[in-house]
């Protein structure tokens, strides 16, 4: 797929900044809220930005690399959690946060190795029953990568048709911190050992084994070294689908709420295809997974929260949403000095 992502026109920046600076407060006193209001105003090209119908999209798939014992959790947890998310009572981690903050939840089967129940509202975009083991061969073919990119873009277009202009993305895929760590290292130059963490709970011996497997996987790589090739060789179906979703959201000038370690590495990979995607990204939090802060720093990102989260599913991004909403309310609902008849004192 080819995406056409334009950087926001900066011509409106002085007017946005002037509006923010003239609200009834000391200049800069609302800190990060002011920065977020400016960014969202630039994305939407308006002095009165708005957030409409937020949705959280969870992409789910399995990974061949779990055959090497890189995760403490068994592979079947992927399909079990997908069923949990889509249970009528909705009692998963992402469910209560979506309810609390008014998000519609979409769950997408990108490549789960299970026949999921189709009466739960799961969006069926299954590319395969899990990727191949990238220790020995590419995780996916070129055609499968294209199918993932197109699938993610399709879901985002559906959200846009439903009136959404702000989306968060999450994932469910046992083993997906492994491809994330490899992408992080290859796209930033950070040593792989500094990118590999405990994932869902590995002990120190487990982390050493995981690092050994991933190092051998990188050593066995025989592709052309291009971003597209690295994405398909080491990626997961759900991760590449998220990349397609992020790129489509940026093309449609939507606000992208970035979640934890996996989704941060997805937008890192997306930025190697289309650098302008980062202009549309709001980074929700710095998580507790080893390497997350390092990749955020490499991107020059300023996460909103630091709560020690490492669940994924989009939970950290959704938790940060009220702060983003506060920024939009600030620029729209605060008076300026002239209207309020308050002496401007700076």
Neighbouring C-beta atoms of residue 69, cutoff 10 Å: 13
R_g of the chain, CA atoms, integer Å? 20
Paired with 282 in beta bridges are 257
Structure tokens at 310: 């490492």
Check if 171 is active-site.
Answer: no
- Of the residues 34, 161, 313, 341, which is catalytic? 313
Q: Write out the catalytic residue numbers.
A: 313
């Amino acid at each position: 797929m080819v995406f056409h992502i334009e950087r926001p026109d900066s011509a409106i920046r002085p007017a946005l900044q002037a509006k923010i600076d003239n609200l009834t407060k000391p200049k800069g006193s609302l800190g990060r809220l002011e920065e977020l209001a400016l960014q969202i105003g630039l994305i939407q090209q308006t002095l009165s930005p708005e957030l409409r119908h937020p949705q959280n999209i969870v992409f789910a798939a399995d990974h061949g690399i779990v055959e090497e014992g890189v995760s403490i959790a068994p592979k079947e947890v992927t399909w079990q959690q997908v069923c949990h998310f889509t249970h009528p009572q909705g009692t998963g981690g992402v469910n209560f946060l979506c309810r609390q903050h008014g998000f519609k939840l979409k769950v997408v089967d990108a490549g789960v190795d299970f026949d999921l129940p189709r009466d739960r509202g799961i969006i069926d975009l299954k590319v395969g029953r899990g990727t191949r083991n990238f220790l020995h061969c590419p995780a996916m073919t070129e055609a499968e990568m294209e199918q993932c990119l197109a699938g993610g873009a399709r879901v985002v277009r559906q959200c846009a048709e439903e009136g959404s202009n702000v989306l968060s993305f999450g994932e469910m895929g046992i083993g997906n911190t492994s491809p994330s760590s490899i992408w992080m290292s290859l796209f930033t130059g950070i040593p792989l050992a500094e990118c590999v963490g405990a994932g869902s709970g590995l002990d120190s011996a487990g982390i050493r084994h995981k690092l050994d497997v991933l190092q051998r996987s990188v050593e066995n790589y025989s592709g052309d070294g291009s971003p597209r090739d690295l994405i398909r060789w080491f990626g997961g179906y759900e991760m590449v689908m998220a990349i397609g979703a992020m790129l489509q959201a940026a093309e449609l000038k939507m606000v992208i709420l970035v979640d934890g370690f996996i989704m941060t590495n997805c937008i890192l990979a997306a930025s190697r295809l289309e650098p302008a995607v980062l202009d549309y990204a709001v980074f929700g939090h710095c998580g507790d997974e080893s390497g997350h802060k390092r990749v955020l720093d490499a991107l020059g990102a300023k996460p909103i929260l630091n709560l020690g989260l490492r669940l994924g599913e989009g939970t950290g991004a959704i938790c940060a949403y009220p702060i983003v909403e506060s920024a939009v309310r600030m620029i729209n609902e605060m008076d300026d000095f002239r209207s309020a008849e308050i002496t401007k004192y700076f």
